[in-house]
Amino acid sequence: MANMRGRIHDRDRRELEVLHRVAVTLSQSLSLSDVLTSLTRELVFAVGRADECAISRWDEGDDTLVDAAAWTMLGPPAWPRGQEVNALADYPETRDLLIAGAGYREFRLTDPTVRPADREVLVHWGWRSSIELPLTVEGRSVGLIEVADYRSSRAWSQRDVTFCQTVASQAALAVRNAQLYEDLRRQADHDPLTEVLNHRAYYERLAQELARAHRTGASVGVLVLDLDDFKSINDRRGHLAGDRALRDTASAVIAACRLCDVAGRLGGDEFGVVLPDIGMEVELVARRVLDGVAARAGLAASIGVAVSAPGETDPLALMGRADASLLQAKRAGKRQYRLSA
């Protein structure tokens, strides 16, 4: 009996420590990624049988769950647990849980009634059992929390479920604040018309990539794109048509580039693209961008291309070479690209 009281006391103390640490940790960060990672880590620490905790964001419009953060008993997961998209059409009961914004669901491999799709998730991740509950902010679900046990298929205790719900409720305000912060930061960093990076954010990102390339020995490429005869669009068809042309151009540039590339609007009808970890294949990207702008936006453009030299860290110098190459492309007849020597 004394040993049992000691174990209960130890658990009470651990849970109180976790709740305090969650409150302190979450109050110190405005990064949504950091907030969610902290939440997964603390739940693994606090719930005795928890071997993994994962959080996914609910994209209600797309009817999907997007992996956002995870932690295991051994630390961060060694397998990819970010930006995996799962269609809720395959998990209607989970969708109902998110819509309700309350309650939880439990899954056990030994349960003969578990749905095949849910059993597949357990097997895929090596979970013997798990619970899932909505992450709710101001009465609205913004994501899903999953807590898993690798070793046992026994039923989850109401205490475990209640504690997970308590931690999730405590984190709700921090999640909301982080969302508001990231929304504000996105508005501050992005051009409102085209939704690509604005001039300031573009140069900040380029400086970051050059600094990283300096450490790793990689190269960074840049494209500077200018629409040919853009003024005639505004003069003949009006500024609304010009705005539409700029939005279509931004979409075409993004579609033609790699996932790791970053586009920005430098001003007027001029766009820039940062291409991390790239060499002479930068010319392939330039050709794809020219073809994409012509096909998707129905517009002609000229592009200047430059690649960083070993150890180069000055974004203005690199962009200056790309600008000079853009002038060469314009003088050569437009509708083409030129690579800086």
Give dist(CA 138, CA 131) in Å, integer. 22
Q: Which residues form the catalytic set? A: 269
